[in-house]
Amino acid sequence: MFAKPMATVRGRLQDDKFYVPLVVNGVQVPGMVFDTGAFGFIFSGRVAKLLNLPRLGRVNLRGIGGTTAAYRSKCTIQIGHRTYSNVQCIVVPRLSYDGLFGLRFFITHRLKVELDPVSQTLTIRKAASDRLPLFERSVRNRPKTAWKPTTKT
């Protein structure tokens, strides 16, 4: 049996990206890209300024495009009728999107997410079980591979 949805958010599918409107610090941010490959919430410098996000320390992010300077921050996220305070986020000043909505939030809060590209909706439910694997555990406990890189001697 599925848990009752906490929220069903209508988004839009465009250029192989799913854009979701979210309320962050009481402000509607329409251009958040739902990206399960992103670590958590990442905001552009322009959006961070609109949201009055505090600068909580510098970080360097490494990704496919290389390394970029960023800073840590915290925000309040509203999804449906639930509010999540002190949510850790990252600000990348030159990010080309308003922001990225990544996997970490769902893992931390034990939420199930269902993306329906046909109806262009994202449904969020409380997970049916508290026995979800945490990201750190799944990485630490994954089986060792038999493959070993070869080295020239």
Single out the residue of 88, 118, 117, 120 nearest to residue 102, CA to CA. 88
Write down the pLDDT at residue 95: 87
- Residue 151: inside a domain, yes or no? no
- The CA distances from residue 66 to 60, 62, 63, 69, in Å, are 10, 6, 5, 10
Give the domain extent around 87: 5-140
Cα-flanking dihedrals φ and ψ of residue 121, to 5°? -125, 150
The answer to whether 35 touches 98, Cβ cutoff 8 Å, is: no
- Report the largest interatomic distance among the alpha carbons of the chain, rounded to a whole angstrom: 62
- Residue 120: inside a domain, yes or no? yes
Write down the pLDDT at residue 119: 92
Write down the pLDDT at residue 138: 39
- Residue 101: inside a domain, yes or no? yes
Write down the pLDDT at residue 109: 84
- Split the chain (153 residues) into runs of 10 and give each run's mean pLDDT: 79 89 92 85 94 94 80 92 91 90 85 88 79 44 41 43
Find the CATH number of the domain harbouring 121: 2.40.70.10
Q: How many domains does the chain have?
A: 1
What's the rounded Cα separation, in Å, for the pair 43 and 94? 9
Write down the pLDDT at residue 148: 39
